[in-house]
A and B are shown apart, each in its own frame.
Chain A
Amino acid sequence: MKGERRSHKKGSSIEFADYRNYTRGDDLRRLDWNIFARLERPFVKLFEEEEDLTVQLLIDASSSMDWPEGKGKLNKFQYALRLAGALGYIGLASGDQVTVGLIDDDNNRVWGPHRGRGNVMRMLQFLEGSNAKGLTELNSSLKRWSVRAHRPGLLFLLSDLFSPSGFEDGLKALQSRGYDVGLIHLLSPDEIAPTVGDDVKLIDVETNAKTEISLDAATIGLYRSRLERWRSEIASTCAGRGIHYIPVSTDLRWDKLVLQTLRRKGVVR
């Protein structure tokens, strides 16, 4: 079944894409006779293929996503859920097959795959009942996800990427299975620009690791430059592997993100 989404693959839709030399075995119906008459050489017309897309939305459900703490604040996990809801709605409304999965230590919280506008409410109910907990090793979780996937398609990973063992291998595994990966990197404002303070002992909410540090201006400056370097490393890795990388601060309104930033990046049309 053909979907409405335009694919990078060449196929049999009505949208002309390119010419190529005729090779033996090509469908003669696609030969451009006018060109053949003019140049006396056979060329085949290529058309973009319209495909039925599977969209998979993976949400990092580790404890670190449940940040910043406190009521009234939109934490990263809630932000990710809203974003997933928006993207899932777009997918369902476009007739794509949508799967929503929460990435945690067992990966057993999955909704879908489902197709059709009628599943929107069910998807939102699933998202509403989700919560973030525990420790997530992104690499191993993504590898497990890649193994269970039957129909690779478009895959969005919504995560803060705070995984001590890294996430690159997991992305590599997904790509090797044929996924077209988009990485939405969520960070809260206090993670991007921590406030200056005195000597403190930092405790990781996810791993419970402790780090002693003096939060003076110089250290904060160093932290920010380190963060920038980290993000640019991720960006260059992703660019090299053809992954859409979208760094997001959660103080950006999620609807604005969907309607403007993602559209500009070509993720949403």
Chain B
Amino acid sequence: MPFLAPLFLLFALVAIPILVLYMLRLRRREMLVSSTMLWQRLMQDREANTPWQRLRRNLLLILQLLILALLVLALARPYLPVRSLVKGNVVVLLDGSASMLAEDVIPNRFSLAQDQVGRLIDDMAGNDEMTLILVAGSPRVLVSASSDKSELRQRSQEAQAKPQSADWPSALALAAGSVQGFEEAKIVIVSDGGLPAGLPAAPVEVIYIPIGESTENLAISNLSTRAGGTESQLLASVSNYGLLDRQVLLSIEVDNTLFDSRLIDVPANNTTNITWDLPEGSAVITARLADNEGDHFPLDDSAWTIHEGGLEMRALIVTEGNRFLDTVFSVLPGISVSRINPEGFDSEALSEPFDLYVFDGISVTESTPDADMLIIDPHPSTLTEATESGPIYSVTGVFTNTQVVRVVDSPILQFVDWGNVNVRQATWVDAPWAQPIVTAEGGPLLLAGERDGRRIVIIPFRLQDSDLPLQIAFPVLMANITGWLSPGRVVTSPMTQSTGVNTGYAPGEPVTLLVNPGATDVRVRKPDGTTWTTEVGRGPLSYVETNQSGVYEVFVQTSNGTQLVDYFVVGLADSAESNIAPVESLAIGHTFVDTVGEENIGQREIWSWLAILAISVLLIEWWIYYRGAQLPSLSYWKDRLGRREAK
């Protein structure tokens, strides 16, 4: 038997003092008796009956020497050569992605994978080193090039799978980096497959340990909304990745109210698509699969989406007709535009809640709306007497001296080059609450400010009286103005580039929160009800605690109070993860990696067994000492058994 620490065998010399002590101990007390005749006969009987009687007299000594031998052996760390999967420098890629949470094996695939890694660790030889990488949303090195088995074992047991898609290209790149410079290196992938195609070739041999048994899984593979004609449509796709035809109850909730529930058939290895017409103003849509027995992967049985139409900014343009405004508002994202003639603008039009009113050179006699406003070419006779707290502005004349003399640094003018803008004539507007953003020699050319809790921007000239609409600055300026007036979405939902469909965020993906400067705090309520709060600083905020699937609500605290401003959705919509079918072989580079037999010779240490054995012998020794240093003879047991039978 080979040893890892043979020097410890010198501890066997401790046997000498034990023997000496035992000899010293054997000085017996002398005791007078009337006759030793019977005792001698007794000894003769016993020694005649059992030849090993002499040995038994020294049983305690023998047991003590045995314990010593076992302990010395354990200290010397003996090992058994075992057939092992790996040898030398090993990089283990432990798949910690969502599909590893499938429960087709008890308790789940990830635990099984951890056990497999544990076996690899057990089989490591003394000089072997292992790097352990957990492959999830972003690959993480758990242990780097360590031969400390206990550390490796602990770290691998502490690792947890996350409901995320695995980033295999990064993981393989990390592994390739880890094995550089080592001669005898291997990459071991412990996974259930699901690796994307087109992975780069690995620089060393790759070994694949497959995990998982079943392929049965039903998933909501897609849940999205689309503005189609007058009404919005909801599309739900239920995919069956298994080998059996299935029937399942799909229920749809709109804004936490059950909207529809349908029993649908999903053939094996197929997808069923269903569409609905969504009611007006729908925002949060939830889809769930019920009665989904035999499904080994519950993570993808629910899906959420945010209907962008329900959150769009609605703008009303009051104009006689302005081609420039029509064009620019039709291309601005996130705004649905209505247009009305000044004659039709009455109290009825005001009763409908628009987020933004654009007045273009009109004369309005009714009261002003309680919303943000963009006023272009303010007419002298309108809006002057309309508010209780005095006029919004007063028009005092016209000026033509439009040479720009001062431009204020403002978000409205971000990326806007005002230098090339020429204005023929403009109206002189007096509005003490507003800040002139652009000032010409004759007067202000652009004003913005807040009044009675709403934001107002004034462009005091006819668009047709300038070359502004012909400049690149115009759409940028209008986007800035609408953005400043109605901040719009805090969260930009990710869109798949090809279809433009909102897919939601993947678990673990960071979310950028764009909060308008007036806010002081941002609070995010997670699907489980807990909240995350942060102060608003400069620049966009990044929210990273997106491990839970579901709908996250974003609240913004302003001086006016807290209000719910946006939602975003985190869900696992990854067919690579939903397809839990275990894969026989992996394609990496141009080669296929199969499961490899155990070819190399590893070392399995057995010191723990020896230690357990030593403790057992110690217990036996104690028992024997307690019973009086000698084992009961065969006749004693016969006698006992006979007595028991007699009973």
Chain A residues within 8 Å of B, Cβ to Cβ: 64-65, 67-69, 76, 160, 162-164, 188, 191, 196-207, 209-214, 216-219, 221-223, 226-227, 230
Contact = CB atoms under 8 A, between A and B. Distances in A.
Given A211-B43, A217-B628, A226-B45, A201 B30 contact: yes
Interface of B: 26, 28-43, 45-46, 57, 627-630, 632-633, 636
Given A198-B29, A200-B28, A203-B30, A64 B42 contact: no
A212 B29 CA distance: 9
Contact of B636 (A199, A211, A221, A223): A221
Contacts of B42: 213, 219, 222-223, 226
Given A222-B46, A222-B633, A223-B42, A162 B30 contact: no
B28 A207 contact: no
A216 B636 CA distance: 13
Given A218-B636, A223-B38, A223-B39, A205 B32 contact: yes
8 contacts: A68-B34, A201-B30, A203-B30, A204-B34, A214-B629, A218-B628, A218-B632, A230-B41
B39 A214 contact: no
B411 to A, nearest CB: 99
Tell me which of A69, A163, A216 has the highest count of chain B C-beta atoms within 10 A of its own C-beta: A216
A227 B38 contact: yes
A188 B39 contact: no
A214 B57 contact: yes
A202 B34 contact: no
Nearest to B42: A226
A212 B43 CA distance: 9
B32 A203 contact: yes
A209 B32 contact: no
A213 B43 contact: yes
B634 to A, nearest CB: 11
A105 to B, nearest CB: 17
A206 B35 contact: yes
Tell me which of B28, B632, B636 has the highest count of chain A C-beta atoms within 10 A of its own C-beta: B28
Nearest to A200: B31
Given A199-B26, A214-B57, A64 B43 contact: no
Contacts of A212: 28
Contacts of A198: 29
A213 B39 contact: yes
Contacts of B28: 199-201, 212
A172 to B, nearest CB: 20
B34 A162 contact: yes
B423 to A, nearest CB: 120
Contact of A160 (B32, B34, B36): B34
Tell me which of B36, B629, B636 has the highest count of chain A C-beta atoms within 10 A of its own C-beta: B36
Given A201-B28, A221-B636, A222-B46, A209 B628 contact: no
Contacts of A191: 33-35
Contacts of B45: 222, 226
B134 to A, nearest CB: 61
Tell me which of A160, A210, A213 has the highest count of chain B C-beta atoms within 10 A of its own C-beta: A213
A218 B630 contact: yes
A40 to B, nearest CB: 62
Contacts of B633: 218, 222
A164 B37 contact: yes
Contacts of B36: 202-204, 207, 209-211
Nearest to B25: A199
Nearest to B39: A211
A201 B37 contact: no
Contacts of A64: 34-35
A218 B632 CA distance: 6
A211 B40 contact: yes
A138 to B, nearest CB: 12
B40 A209 contact: yes
A204 B37 CA distance: 8
A36 to B, nearest CB: 61
Contact of A202 (B39, B627, B630, B636): B39
A222 B627 CA distance: 15
A214 B43 CA distance: 11
A67 B32 CA distance: 10
A218 B34 CA distance: 21
Given A188-B34, A202-B31, A205-B32, A226 B630 contact: no
Contacts of B34: 64-65, 67-68, 76, 160, 162, 188, 191, 204-206
Given A201-B30, A211-B36, A216-B628, 5 more contacts: A201-B28, A202-B39, A203-B33, A226-B38, A227-B38
A162 B28 CA distance: 24
Nearest to A209: B36
A58 B34 CA distance: 20
A214 B628 contact: yes
Given A221-B636, A226-B42, A201 B29 contact: yes
Nearest to B628: A216
B512 to A, nearest CB: 83
A191 B32 CA distance: 12
A160 B633 CA distance: 29
A214 to B, nearest CB: 6
B37 A216 contact: no
A88 B43 CA distance: 40
B631 to A, nearest CB: 8
B188 to A, nearest CB: 59
A198 B146 CA distance: 56
A206 B28 CA distance: 20
B629 A216 contact: yes
Contacts of A197: 31
Contacts of B627: 216-217
A15 B31 CA distance: 58
Contacts of A196: 628
A230 B32 contact: no
A181 B630 CA distance: 43
A226 B31 contact: no
A43 B43 CA distance: 62
Contacts of B32: 69, 202-203, 205
A200 B30 contact: yes
4 nearest A-B residue pairs (beta carbon): A216-B628, A67-B34, A162-B35, A204-B36
A188 B35 CA distance: 12
Tell me which of B30, B627, B628, B636 has the highest count of chain A C-beta atoms within 10 A of its own C-beta: B628
